[in-house]
């Protein structure tokens, strides 16, 4: 089962898994999510941060006899980990690592204690002039670039707190590191070995990474390997970092799941999703850290074509995807 069928990379992930011989079930909250129509079967589910979500997902896993679950959105991560106690292989890091990464302020503290480079970071409620402006202001919990702002002054920060949805205790003020940015796939599983590290330099980012290129950088790879050694993810994770003026990596965020740039990791030669899926369900072999540098991802829309019977077989009523209905939780499993 693959969640978040509407995210940028999920349709391609579904199609790739099917070419590898897997039967794929897709879920999303929104009937317009393209990946729903590319899977073998699909379901509309409640949002991942609702009480109804876990019982629905658990019920689908039982109904479909799911061997594994690949969750791809932060709101679901802590909840779905419980399925591992019921015989479903959940392709996530260990729960402690997930919880740490989802609290961005706690994560910065843990990384600094481990001796890893991070930007100067304070809660807005604790801010006293360090870091200096301009500074990145972001929600303490949240995903992607939602709520992330570059503030130029204390007055702007105060307006953001006064006018925005977050309190001063829920915002992190972070040093703005202006060097090249990297998004890095780190492949590890329960034995703790770092199987592969694939750095991708971000060329263009608008919410999600649009253009990126695989780039070898020894310091970036060493930093990401150190994250695994010090914090023991023991599962797939994605490190976001930037190089400071001296070229040293500064980690500003970690996604405790597969990244939306996993297709670029695959194109470069490391099939992290299928590889870890096989290790989790079939005791498959470790992946090789051999990959190609200079592979560029250009993210774009693409079209898929089904006949009407195939489309209808997914069981989602056409009225649910007509303009004006928007995204809404559906509690009934389809």
**Is the pLDDT confidence value at 144 over 80?**
no
pTM, to two decimals: 0.91
Most distant pair of Cα atoms in the chain: their distance: 62
| Domain annotation covers residue 209 | yes
Split at pLDDT 50, 70, 90, the class of 146 is confident
pLDDT at 334: 38
C-beta of residue 171 within 8 angstroms of C-beta of residue 160: yes
The CATH number that applies at residue 146 is 3.30.1490.20
More confident residue, 332 or 78: 78
Last residue of a domain, one of 135, 160, 175: 175
**Alpha carbons 221 and 201: distance in angstroms, whole number:** 12
The CATH number that applies at residue 206 is 3.30.470.20
Please state the rounded mean pLDDT for residues 127-136.
Answer: 92
pLDDT per position as a tens digit, 180-235:
999 999 999 999 999 999 999 999 998 789 999 999 999 999 999 999 999 999 99
pLDDT at 332: 37
| Residue 158 and residue 182 in one domain | no
| Residue 222 and residue 249 in one domain | yes
pLDDT at 208: 87
| Domain annotation covers residue 334 | no
The CATH number that applies at residue 84 is 3.40.50.20
| Domain annotation covers residue 111 | no
pLDDT per position as a tens digit, 76-101:
999 999 999 999 999 999 999 999 99
Quickly count helices (H) and strands (E) in the chain.
10, 14
Residue 46 domain boundaries = 10-90+303-321
Q: How many CB atoms lie within 10 A of CB 247?
A: 11
How does the average pLDDT of the chain come out, rounded?
92
Q: What percent of the chain has pLDDT over 90?
A: 82
Structural domain count, the chain: 3
| Residue 167 and residue 68 in one domain | no
Last residue of a domain, one of 175, 210, 240: 175
| Residue 29 and residue 125 in one domain | no
* Among candidate residues 260, 266, 269, 257, the one with its CA nearest the CA of residue 299: 260
| Domain annotation covers residue 3 | no
**Alpha carbons 322 and 150: distance in angstroms, whole number:** 36
| Domain annotation covers residue 326 | no
Last residue of a domain, one of 175, 199, 220: 175
**Is the pLDDT confidence value at 320 over 70?**
no
Give strand pairing partners of 201. Answer: 182, 213
């Amino acid at each position: 089962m693959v969640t978040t069928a509407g995210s940028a990379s999920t349709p391609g992930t579904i199609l790739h898994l099917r070419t590898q011989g897997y039967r794929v079930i897709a879920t999303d909250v929104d009937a317009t999510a393209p990946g729903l129509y590319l899977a073998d079967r699909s379901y509309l589910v409640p949002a991942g941060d609702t009480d109804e979500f876990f019982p629905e997902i658990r019920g689908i896993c039982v109904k479909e006899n799911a061997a594994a679950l690949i969750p791809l959105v932060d709101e679901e991560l802590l909840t779905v980990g419980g399925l591992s106690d019921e015989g479903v292989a959940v392709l996530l890091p260990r729960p402690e690592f997930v919880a740490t990464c989802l609290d961005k302020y706690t994560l910065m503290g843990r990384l600094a204690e481990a001796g890893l480079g991070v930007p100067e970071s304070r809660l807005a409620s604790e801010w006293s002039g360090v870091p200096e402006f301009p500074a990145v202001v972001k929600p303490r919990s949240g995903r992607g670039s939602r709520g992330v702002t570059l503030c130029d002054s204390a007055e702007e920060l105060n307006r953001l707190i006064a006018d925005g949805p977050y309190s001063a205790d829920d915002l992190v003020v972070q040093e703005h590191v202006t060097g090249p940015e990297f998004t890095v796939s780190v492949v590890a599983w329960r034995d703790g070995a770092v199987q592969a590290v694939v750095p991708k330099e971000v060329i263009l980012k608008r919410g999600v990474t649009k253009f990126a290129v695989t780039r070898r950088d020894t310091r970036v790879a060493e930093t990401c390997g150190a994250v695994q050694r010090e914090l023991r993810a023991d599962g797939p994770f994605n490190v976001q970092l930037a190089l400071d003026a001296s070229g040293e990596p500064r980690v500003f965020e970690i996604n405790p799941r597969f990244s939306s740039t996993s297709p670029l990791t695959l194109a470069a030669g490391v099939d992290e999703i299928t590889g870890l899926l096989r290790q989790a369900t079939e005791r498959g072999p470790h992946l090789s850290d051999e990959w190609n540098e200079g592979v560029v991802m250009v993210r774009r829309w693409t079209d898929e074509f089904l006949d009407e019977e195939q489309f209808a077989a997914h069981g989602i009523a056409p009225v649910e995807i007509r303009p004006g209905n928007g995204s809404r939780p559906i509690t009934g499993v389809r």
